[in-house]
Amino acid sequence: MPIAPPPPLANPRAARTRRALFDAAAKLFVAQGYENTTMANIAAEAGTSRRTAFNHFPNKGDIPMLWVRQMADHAIEEVATTITDDISEGIRAYFRVISEAVESEPELSRQMMLGWTAALGPALYESQLLSDVTPYLKGGQERGQIHPWVDITVAARTLSDVLQGATFRWVREPDSVLHEMVDSGITLVLRAMTASD
Domain region containing 111: 62-193
Both 99 and 174 in one domain: the answer is yes
Both 179 and 101 in one domain: the answer is yes
Both 69 and 34 in one domain: the answer is no
Both 136 and 91 in one domain: the answer is yes
Q: Three-state SS for 197?
A: coil
Model confidence pLDDT, tens digit, residues 53-76: 999 999 898 999 889 889 999 999
List, run by run, the mean pLDDT of 10-residue segments along the chain (197 residues): 54 88 97 96 96 93 89 89 81 94 94 85 69 90 93 94 91 89 94 77
Both 79 and 52 in one domain: the answer is no
Both 111 and 52 in one domain: the answer is no
The confidence score (pLDDT) of residue 156 equals: 93
Both 69 and 36 in one domain: the answer is no
Residue 181 belongs to some domain of the structure:
yes
Both 82 and 100 in one domain: the answer is yes
CATH number of the domain enclosing 74? 1.10.357.10
Both 22 and 112 in one domain: the answer is no
From 40, 60, 41, 47, select the one nearest 17 (Cα to Cα): 47
The confidence score (pLDDT) of residue 28 equals: 97
DSSP H or E run through 187: helix 178-193
Both 94 and 150 in one domain: the answer is yes
Residue 6 belongs to some domain of the structure:
no
Residue 117 belongs to some domain of the structure:
yes
Q: Three-state SS for 106?
A: helix
Model confidence pLDDT, tens digit, residues 139-150: 999 999 999 999
